[in-house]
Amino acid sequence: MALLEVENLVARYGRITALDGIALTVEQGEIVTLIGANGAGKTTTLRTISGLVRPAAGTIRFDGRDISKLAPNDIVRAGISHSPEGRHVFPRMTVRENLELGAYTRTAKSEIAEDTEQVLGIFPRLRERYEQKAGTMSGGEQQMLAIARAMMSRPRLLLLDEPSLGLSPILVQTIFGVIRDINARGTTVLLIEQNARQALAVAARGYVLEVGRIAHSGAAAELSASEAVRAAYLGGAA
Amino acid sequence: MDVFLQQLINGLSLGGIYALIALGYTMVYGIIELINFAHGDVYTLGTFFSLAILTLLGVTGIVTGPALIVVVAVTILGAMILCGLTGVIVERLAYRRLRNAPKLAPLITAIGMSFILENLMLYWHGPSPIPFPAVIPNPAVGLGSVTIQAKQIMVIVLAVVLMVVLQVFVYNTKLGKAMRATAQDKDAAQLMGININTTIALTFLIGSALAGAAGFVSGVYYGSTWFLNGFAAGLKAFTAAVLGGIGNLAGAMLGGFLIGLTEAMTTQFISDQWSNVVVFSVLVLVLIFRPTGLLGESLPNKV
Ligand SMILES: Nc1ncnc2c1ncn2[C@@H]1O[C@H](COP(=O)(O)OP(=O)(O)O)[C@@H](O)[C@H]1O
Ligand SMILES: [Mg+2]
């Protein structure tokens, strides 16, 4: 049984159908990527999984349990954490407070302290900014904070929406390194990227979304090699 | 100088009432960006509930000895709980379903809620002023030619104590942190595992409870009330919240005291009739130079 199983998922904004019956699975321990053009429905997919958008139809099973009717706060407790598009750090709170909120669902103080140390080890920059208000930090720093904060709930499944958006090339490398690292420590990852080449390089499998439907899916290497995917998402070059 | 000191005391006690009401405006605005027009009426209800509780306790005048502490505590707590629940019910029935509607819809609804509460109070006690028992003995302490009445001390002490408790709650407890997170970013708050419906209801509970406490205090302070009492006081408290920087707790407190002082000083040194003019002129002047209010932050939400 897959950790996450999405079947026939439909999501609408008023009369706009953003997801028109998609299916995908994520196995325990995998990195799976969801790629596609702007407006394809990638963000909506993650927002529906984490409960911010109510599905119009379909099921979302996490660890065998239907979570499609749960509120977002209960979905976090079930073990899914979502680092949203656009970072959404709490701007008038410090790095410390943002991380504390990431651990909102947890109570064991010593474990929280351990995890805080761990994420500060991964992102030393956040340690330097520990008592600084998140709204005053650079985009890259905020992105690190968003990922670190999402890790603080000790999720089984981490949803990452365009974590490399707007970052410098060096920082993009760092972020992808971190994603590998997080995965190596046992967290399953569902990753959205516009940077399809990079995403397919870290992921085991991928899905290609086109206007609300899954157009292609398969092993990352296959997708990278496929003519159709290359032409549309990898800039055509060999 | 003595006159000035006297008005300082008067202004601070008046300001304590405004500050307590202003906190509710600013908390609700901070969390759902709604100007809760019904809030001034919740404050009046606080006086009405207090009166009902005092009547139940058989209090019609001054209470002395240990009974005084019990009566005051029971009445304030009772008024706070009843007003808090009123706020929660108003949010649940009227505002929650409009949370994602265009801003004008909840605003109009708030004005409607205000009329509903006013009419309920009109039905309850009629259109005339209602006397409120003195409750606390009111010896005046003389300091030179300045006199401080016991009830003024009560207002200031109660206001300060409640503000300190609120500040500690909001900045040092997990629920307080959840409230601030919800105010700053609702989607992100939910992704942290926060139930924002609960958090918003809690905000209404606390804000309205503070108005309930102000309602009791105002009954004792003025010795009477009526069903439209919250209109002017609510407007001034709202002004206080804007003056201090709407959404900002410390700002609401500062604004409340400043409005109270301005009013007292104007009454003394210019004239009674000018107090509103001066109060709103101060507001306009401050907003010209600091559009976000005295303590309002203008930190961008998106960088
Ligand atoms: N809040 C919204 N209201 C209305 N339409 C939306 C909203 N969010 C997204 N959409 C629409 O849904 C479709 C999918 O958007 P999205 O999931 O953000 O795509 P992606 O993340 O792949 O760029 C687009 O057509 C977009 O315009
Ligand atoms: Mg997107």
Digit-coded pLDDT (tens) for B6-55: 999 999 999 999 999 999 999 999 999 999 999 999 999 999 999 999 99
Q: Which residue has the tokens 């991380």?
A: A99
Boundaries of domain holding B203: 2-289
Residue B204 falls within a domain, yes or no?
A: yes
The pLDDT tens digits of the residues spanning A136-174 come to: 999 999 999 999 999 999 999 999 999 998 788 998 999
Whether ipTM tops 0.85, in short, is yes
Residue to mutate among A47, A70, A73, with most B CBs inside 10 A, is A73
* A15 CB within 6 A, ligand 1: no
Q: Are B232 and B275 in contact (CB under 8 A)?
A: no
- Intervals of chain B under pLDDT 70: 298-303
Helix (H) or strand (E) holding A58: strand A57-62
Q: Residue A179: pLDDT band by 50, 70, 90 thresholds?
A: very high
Name the average pLDDT for chain A: 94
Distance CA A169, CA A166 (A): 9
So what's the pLDDT on residue B122? Answer: 97
Chain A residues within an 8 Å CB radius of B181: 90, 93, 101
Residue B126 falls within a domain, yes or no?
A: yes
Residue B258 falls within a domain, yes or no?
A: yes
* Domain count for chain B: 1
Q: Which DSSP symbol is given to B62? A: B
Q: Domain of B112: which CATH number?
A: 1.10.3470
Q: Which SS3 state, helix, strand or coil, does residue A7 take? A: strand
Distance CA A152, CA A222 (A): 34
Is B134 exposed, middle or buried (CB count within 10 Å of its CB: 0-12, 13-18, 19+)?
A: middle
* B2-32 and B249-269 helices, crossing angle to 10°: 150
Interface subset of B 260-299, CB within 8 angstroms of A: 297, 299
So what's the pLDDT on residue A232? Answer: 80
Q: Are A75 and B190 in contact (CB under 8 A)?
A: no
Distance CA A220, CA A205 (A): 4
Question: What mean pLDDT is predicted for residues A181-189?
Answer: 96
Distance CA B77, CA B60 (A): 19
Residue B164 falls within a domain, yes or no?
A: yes
Chain B residues within an 8 Å CB radius of A136: 299, 303
Is A58 exposed, middle or buried (CB count within 10 Å of its CB: 0-12, 13-18, 19+)?
A: middle
Residue B301 falls within a domain, yes or no?
A: no
Considering only CA atoms, give the Rg of chain A: 17
* A13 CB within 6 A, ligand 1: yes
Mutate to test the pocket of ligand 1, among A9, A10, A12, A13 (most ligand atoms within 8 A of CB): A13
Residue B18 falls within a domain, yes or no?
A: yes
Q: Are A164 and A193 in contact (CB under 8 A)?
A: yes
Residues in chain B: 303
Question: What mean pLDDT is predicted for residues A213-217?
Answer: 96
What are the C-alpha distances in Å from A56 to residues A22, A50, A69, B174?
12, 14, 11, 34
So what's the pLDDT on residue B146? Answer: 85
The pLDDT tens digits of the residues spanning A40-92 come to: 999 999 999 999 999 999 999 999 999 999 999 999 999 999 999 999 999 99
The pLDDT tens digits of the residues spanning B194-221 come to: 999 999 999 999 999 999 999 999 999 9
Residue B77 falls within a domain, yes or no?
A: yes
Interface subset of B 163-222, CB within 8 angstroms of A: 174, 177-178, 180-181, 184-185, 187-196
Q: Phi and psi for B128 in degrees, rounded to 5?
A: -95, 165
Q: Whose CA is nearest to atom 24 of ligand 1?
A: A39
Q: Is A157 left (phi over 0), alpha (psi -120 to 50) or beta?
A: beta
The CATH 3.40.50.300 portion of chain A extends over 1-79+157-238
Residue to mutate among A48, A82, A104, with most B CBs inside 10 A, is A104
CATH fold of the domain at A1-79+157-238: Rossmann fold (3.40.50)
Among B255, B249, B250, B253, smallest CA distance to B287 is for B255
Is A59 exposed, middle or buried (CB count within 10 Å of its CB: 0-12, 13-18, 19+)?
A: middle
Find the angle CA(B64)-CA(B67)-CA(B73) to the nearest 5 degrees: 115
Question: What mean pLDDT is predicted for residues A188-216?
Answer: 94
pTM of the model: 0.94
DSSP code per residue over A176-238? HHHHHHHHHTT-EEEEEES-HHHHHHH-SEEEEEETTEEEEEEEHHHHHH-HHHHHHHS-S--
